[in-house]
Amino acid sequence: MKIRITHPHLADQLVRSLNETDCLAAPTSLDCVDVFVPWLERGGDPQQARMELIFFVRAWGMTYPGFDVRLD
């Protein structure tokens, strides 16, 4: 999954946080992060993964005013 964030300077911190979970993340551009969710390969629900990812990233970004995320 590809996510775009409103605060590009936080991309590296977000990647580190995502990599501490069940996800594998890497920055792909200034405001974009690719996220691989391994449990999807074992038959997980893609819609559930999208919701969990958005929830996690928005919760993570709550301390940064104006921070938001969009799935591409």
The residue with tokens 């591409």 is: 72
CA distance 8 to 41: 29
CA distance 9 to 40: 29
pLDDT tens-place string over residues 8-54 = 999 999 999 999 998 999 999 999 999 999 988 889 899 999 999 99
Using a cut of 0.85, tell me whether the model's pTM lies above it: yes
Residue 3 in tokens: 């996510």
Strand ranges (E), 13-72: 24-29, 32-36, 69-71
pLDDT given at position 39: 86
pLDDT given at position 41: 87
